[in-house]
Amino acid sequence: MLKDVLRGSFLAVVLLLGAGCGEADRFAKGWDQGGTLHEATMRDWAFAVDANRLATSADFVRERIPDMPEEGVPISSALVEKCLSDMSLRFAVDYVKAHEKLDYCFDYTERMLGRLEQEYASQARATE
């Protein structure tokens, strides 16, 4: 169920965002390659570089939602990375693995995509 909601929400958001936005520098070619934090602790995640966290998040997204179209991977990965990074700053501990928090972060991603979809739909109606 979560996979279906994420796929539907991200597609609407991607289409709306893609209508007038260029590719952000954060998503330069190869941004989703080379992540090494799959077994990282929350402490390791907190001190990892942004590019590694983002690339690892892309791997998590592709693993959890293998049939997600590539257009949805950047925004979903960015939201998962933000969630894990925010958590890691509060709970930078060695006894919790970052991947153990993925259920929460995928729920967060679903909620945020829903909010973005509503916001862009509202803005689209306002400009008509």
pLDDT tens figures, 62-80: 999 999 999 999 999 999 9
- C-alpha span between 126 and 103 (Å, rounded): 35
Query: Do residues 6 and 109 lie in contact, with contact meaning Cβ atoms separated by under 8 Å?
Result: yes
Classify residue 20: in a domain, yes or no. Answer: no
Dist. CA 125–CA 42, nearest whole Å: 41
Q: Is residue 25 part of a domain?
A: no
Query: Mean pLDDT in the chain?
Result: 85
**Looking at the domain assignment, is residue 59 inside a domain?**
yes
> Tens digit of pLDDT for each residue in 81-90?
999 999 999 9
Which pTM was predicted?
A: 0.77
Q: Which residues contact 45 (CB under 8 A, 6 or more apart)?
A: 37, 53, 84, 85, 88, 98
Q: Does a structural domain hold residue 80?
A: yes
Q: Assess whether pLDDT exceeds 50 at residue 12.
A: no
CB count in 10 Å sphere of residue 77: 26
Q: Is 29 among the domain residues?
A: no
Number of domain units in the chain: 1
| Whether the predicted pLDDT of 40 surpasses 50 | yes
Segments forming the whole domain that contains residue 77: 2-15+36-126
Phi, psi angles (nearest 5°) of residue 69:
-60, 150
